[in-house]
Structure formats: C-alpha cells, structure tokens
C-alpha cells in the first residue's frame, strides 16, 4: 500500500488548525530553499533511476549510488536549480509557492 500524501490549500489548513483549537497568527507561501529544491529535485527524480540523489549530495548523505551517478545528480541538480529560479519567483509573487507556512498557537480557553 502506497503512503498517503496530503496537500492542503490555505483555507483547508486554517480550517483544520481552527478545529484543533489553534489560532493562526501569520501565513506565507514561500520558503525559498524548500521551493527551489522541490522544483529541481522533483525534476531530477523523474529522470534519474534513484530518488533524491541531489538532496543526498547537498546534505552529505552518501547512499552508495556510485561516483558517476552522484556526480551526474549533483551537476544536473545544480543546473535544474538555476532553471527553477523563475518558477520560484513567480510562485512567490502570485502567493502560490510550493510551501505554505502557518504560525499558530493554541487558543486560550
């Protein structure tokens, strides 16, 4: 059975937080490093036989892919990251970035 992935839009996330007794204080639609890496790593995962090679390269988590696969993943991942900059900028400007961050605290009773 595949793991369940859940994606919330702003309205649904705020509703869930409210139902759980939280009050949202601030929200934004962009976390630069997550949005940027999300574009490049997702594209790389589509074209490479192994997932997350670029992320593993950036974080120093060697998974034994071999030197050629690792070097290719790092090079292509870096190139894709540069190509992703305009998409991240557009997502941020339109309030539709790949990340939704909400600062919330429990409501006082």
Residue 25, in any domain of the structure: no
Residue 98, in any domain of the structure: yes
Residue 18, in any domain of the structure: no
Residue 95, in any domain of the structure: yes
pLDDT the model gives residue 76: 94
Number of domains comprising the chain: 1
Which residue range(s) make up the domain with 44?
32-106
Residue 75, in any domain of the structure: yes
pLDDT the model gives residue 63: 81
Residue 37, in any domain of the structure: yes
Residue 53, in any domain of the structure: yes
Q: Is the pTM of this model over 0.85?
A: no
pLDDT the model gives residue 3: 65
Residue 2, in any domain of the structure: no
Tell me, letter by letter, the H, E, C secondary structure of the chain.
CCCCCCCCCHHHHHHHHHHCCEEEEEEECCCHHHHHHHHHHHHHHHHCCCCCHHHHHHHCCCCCCCHHHHHHHHHHHHHHHHHHHHHHHHHHHCCCCCCCEEEEEECCC
Q: What is the pLDDT of residues 13-61, one digit of tens each?
A: 899 999 999 999 998 877 877 888 888 999 999 999 899 999 998 888 8
């Amino acid at each position: 059975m595949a793991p369940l992935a859940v994606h919330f839009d702003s309205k649904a996330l705020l509703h869930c937080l409210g139902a759980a007794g939280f009050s949202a204080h601030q929200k934004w639609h962009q976390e630069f490093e997550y949005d940027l890496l999300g574009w490049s790593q997702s594209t790389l995962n589509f074209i490479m036989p192994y997932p997350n090679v670029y992320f593993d390269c950036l974080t120093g988590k060697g998974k034994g892919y071999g030197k050629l696969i690792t070097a290719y993943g790092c090079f292509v991942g870096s190139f894709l990251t540069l190509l992703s900059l305009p998409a991240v900028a557009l997502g941020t400007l339109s309030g539709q970035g790949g990340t939704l961050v909400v600062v919330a605290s429990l409501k006082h009773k």
